[in-house]
Structure 1
Amino acid sequence: MTTTRIGVTAREPRAHVELVVGALAPRLISRDAVRAHVAVAAAGMVLLGGDEVHVEIDVGPGCTLEIEDVGGTVAYRGPRSSWILEVRIGAGGTLLWHGLPFVVTDGADVERRSSLILESDARAVIRETLVLGRHGERGGRLISALSVVDRSGPVLLERLDADGRVPEPGVLGSNRVLDAVIAVGFRPPPRPGDLELDRPGAMARHLSDHTHGSPLDPVWDAWVARAEERSPTREPVLAR
Structure 2
Amino acid sequence: MPTRTEVRTARIALLPDDTGRGGRARLELRGGLVTPRVVHQGAASAEVALIATTATLLGGDELRLSVEVGPGLRLDLRDVAGTVAYHGRGRECLVAVSLTVHPGAVLVWAGAPLVVCDGARVVRTLDVDVTDTGRLLLRDRVALGRSGQVGGDLTCRTTMTYAARPALVEELTLGGSPGGGGAGVLGDARVVDSVTALGWRPAPRPALHATDPSTTSQPPLFTLHEPGALARQLVTDAHDSALRHTWQAWSGQLETTANP
Partner of 1:175: 189
Answering whether residue 16 of structure 2 is matched by residue 10 of structure 1, we say yes
Q: 2:199 aligns with which of 169, 185, 189?
A: 185
Structure 1 residues 117 and 167 mapped into 2: Cα distance closer, same or farther (>3 Å)? closer
Q: Pick the aligned partner of 1:98 from 107, 110, 115.
A: 110
Moved more, 109-118 or 162-171: 162-171
Q: CA deviation at 1:180?
A: 1.1
The alignment partner of 1:226 has SS state of helix
* Structure 2 Cα separation of the partners of residues 80 and 222 of structure 1: 37
Listed one character per residue, the Cα deviations across residues 84-128 of structure 1 (whole Å, up to 9, x for unaligned) are: 011111101111001111100000000000101111211111111
Aligned to 2:174: 162
Determine if contact 2:47/2:77 at 8 Å carries over to the other structure.
Answer: yes
In the alignment, which residue of structure 2 is the partner of 1:194?
A: 221
Any conservation in 2 of the 1:80–1:110 contact (CA below 8 Å)? Answer: yes
Residue 148 (str. 1) matches residue 163 (str. 2): no
Q: How much is the aligned-residue C-alpha RMSD, in angstroms?
A: 1.7
Q: TM-score, with normalisation over the residues of structure 2?
A: 0.85
Indicate the residue corresponding to 1:225 in structure 2.
Answer: 252
The counterpart of 2:143, out of the listed 131, 135, 139, is 131
How far the C-alpha of 1:190 sits from its partner, in A, is 2.6
- Residues 176-206 of structure 1: per-residue CA shift (max 9 Å, x gap): 0111111111101234631111211111111
Identity of aligned residues (%): 38
Structural mapping, 1:14-163, within 5 Å: 14-78=24-88, 79-163=91-175
> What TM-score, normalized to structure 1?
0.91
Residues 1:17 and 1:155: Cα distance change in structure 2 (over 3 Å):
same
**Counterparts in 2 of 1:219 and 1:68: CA distance versus 1, 3 Å:** same
In the other structure, the counterpart of 2:237 is 210
Unaligned runs of 5+ in 1: 233-240
The 2-side partners of 1:167 and 1:228 are apart by 38
Q: Which has the higher helix share?
A: 2
Q: 2:257, 2:46 → 1: CA distance?
A: 17
